[in-house]
Amino acid sequence: MAINKKGMMFVLSSPSGVGKTTLTKKLAENNSQFAISVSHTTRKPRSNEIDGKDYHFVTIDEFTTLVKKNDFYEHANIFDNCYGTHKEKVIKLLSQGKDVLFDIDWQGTQQLKRIKNMNIVTIFILPPNIKVLKDRLLNRHKNEEQLIGKRMNKFNEEISHWNEYNYVVINDDLNMCYEKIKNIITSEKKGIREDQNYKEIKKKVEELIK
């Protein structure tokens, strides 16, 4: 079966700290066919983030103007900051035959899925267990206990949307998870939908939300 040459949209979602951003960047860095959709956000950049590469950092007024102009495919408020996917860049990348990777949450995914005639494949990433998730958050947000608490409290709500996605993978080992996602993308480009053991995934989700 011939590989689909047209650009496709691949969404990676997960609760905060599970690794979707790291995996998205790894996919793009190792595969010239992939391009990341760089979101606009109203949050302040972290010390290691570059405007235009990690995010387009904008003011609340600038973001509101873009919303009013209907320039976003999707936008959401997450932890008191706004995030959005600008249409123009995505359209350009798809027209060039690039596969566009989206690092967005379930709210944005729901909005993208409503767009007609879009070739979208959605992937949800789970942590292996709660301890690993908390350790990752502690490592990322040192001395920010309040923020970590917010993200942990939001976990159950975020994970409840797992069954809205085409695929669910567990990020136990980063390289193995990366290979799983890459294989999913390769299959989808060939027009093949891989089987998922939803009974096993549901059991894993139930373990995580105990």
Positive or negative, the Cα torsion across 193, 199, 26, 18? positive
Residue 199 CA to its chain's centroid (Å): 23
Stretch 44-67: mean pLDDT, rounded? 95
pLDDT at site 141: 66
Predicted confidence (pLDDT) per residue in 71-98, tens digit: 999 999 988 899 999 999 999 999 999 9
**Structure tokens of 128?**
């292996």
pLDDT, tens digit (0-9, with 9 covering 90-100), for 136-162: 777 776 667 777 777 777 888 899 999
Strands (E), the chain: 9-13, 34-36, 40-41, 56-57, 72-78, 81-86, 99-103, 120-126, 167-170
pLDDT at site 3: 44
Residues 195, 198, 199, 202, Cα dihedral to 10°:
150
**17 alpha carbon, distance to own chain's centre:** 12
What are residue 22's phi and psi, to 5 degrees? -60, -45
Please write the tens of the pLDDT for every residue from 105-130. 999 999 999 988 888 999 999 998 88
Mean pLDDT in residue range 158-183: 95
Contacts of 41 (CB under 8 A, 6+ apart): 55, 56, 57, 58, 63, 81, 82, 83, 84
Task: Give the per-residue pLDDT at 177.
Answer: 96
Is 150:79 a contact under the CB 8 Å cutoff? Answer: yes
**Is the pTM value of this prediction over 0.75?**
yes
Give residue 2's pLDDT.
Answer: 41
Cβ 93 vs Cβ 80: under 8 Å: no
Burial of residue 116 (CB within 10 Å: 0-12, 13-18, 19+) is exposed
Q: How many helices (H) and strands (E) does the chain have?
A: 8, 9
